[in-house]
Structure 1
Amino acid sequence: MPSVFVQGRPVESYPPLAPEARRGSVRRITEVGEEVLHKPCRDVTEFGPDLAALIDDMFLTMYVAEGAGLAANQVGVGLRLFVYDCADDDGVRHVGHVVNPVLDALSPAGRRLLDEGEGCLSVPGALMDVARPDRAVVRGLDKDGRPLVVEGTGYFARCLEHETDHCDGRVYLDRLSGRERMDALRQAADRRDEVFARRAANVVALKG
Structure 2
Amino acid sequence: MSDENATPSAERIEGFNERVFAWSVDELGVEGKVLPVVTAPAAVLSTEGATVDPTSPEIVQLAADLVATMRVSPGCVGLAAPQVGEGVKVFCVDVSTHAKTRTHHGTYVLCNAELVESSRNQKAREGCMSVPDLTGDVKRASLVTVKGQLPGTGEWVTLRSDAFEARCLQHEMDHCNGYLFVDRVAGAHAIYQRQTYL
TM-score (norm 2): 0.78
What is the number of equivalent residue pairs in this alignment? 181
In structure 2, the CA distance between the partners of 1:167 and 1:126, relative to structure 1 (3 Å rule), is same
Give the structure 1 partner of residue 173 of structure 2: 164
Q: Structure 2: which 5+ residue stretches go unaligned?
A: 1-8
Give the structure 1 partner of residue 106 of structure 2: 94
In structure 2, the CA distance between the partners of 1:29 and 1:98, relative to structure 1 (3 Å rule), is same
Post-superposition shift, 1:41?
A: 0.3
Amino acid in structure 2 at the alignment position of 1:26: V
Give the structure 2 partner of residue 122 of structure 1: 130
Seq. identity, %: 28
Post-superposition shift, 1:118?
A: 1.0
Give the structure 2 partner of residue 52 of structure 1: 60
Is 1:132 matched with 2:144? no
Match of 1:80 among 65, 72, 89: 89
Amino acid in structure 2 at the alignment position of 1:162: H
Q: CA RMSD in A?
A: 3.1
| Higher RCO structure (Cα 8 Å, ≥6 apart) | 2
Secondary structure of 2:144's partner?
strand
2:166 and 2:172 mapped to 1: Cα distance? 10
The 5 Å alignment of 1:172-183 reads 172-180=181-189, 183=191
Whether the aligned pair in 2 keeps the contact of 1:32 and 1:122 (CA below 8 Å) is yes
Post-superposition shift, 1:36?
A: 0.2
In structure 2, the CA distance between the partners of 1:180 and 1:75, relative to structure 1 (3 Å rule), is farther
Give the structure 1 partner of residue 39 of structure 2: 31
Amino acid in structure 2 at the alignment position of 1:135: L
2:157 and 2:103 mapped to 1: Cα distance? 22
More helix as a share of residues: 1
Residue deviations 1:47-76, cap 9 Å, x none?
232211111111111122231111101100
Whether the aligned pair in 2 keeps the contact of 1:4 and 1:94 (CA below 8 Å) is no
- Which 4+ runs in 1 deviate beyond 3 A? 2-5, 10-15
Match of 2:115 among 85, 99, 103: 103
1:176 and 1:91 mapped to 2: Cα distance? 25
Query: Which structure has the larger Rg?
Result: 1
Secondary structure of 2:148's partner?
strand
Q: Structure 1: which 5+ residue stretches go unaligned?
A: 196-208
Residue deviations 1:149-199, cap 9 Å, x none?
122100000001111111110010001244247x44x54xx87xx54xxxx
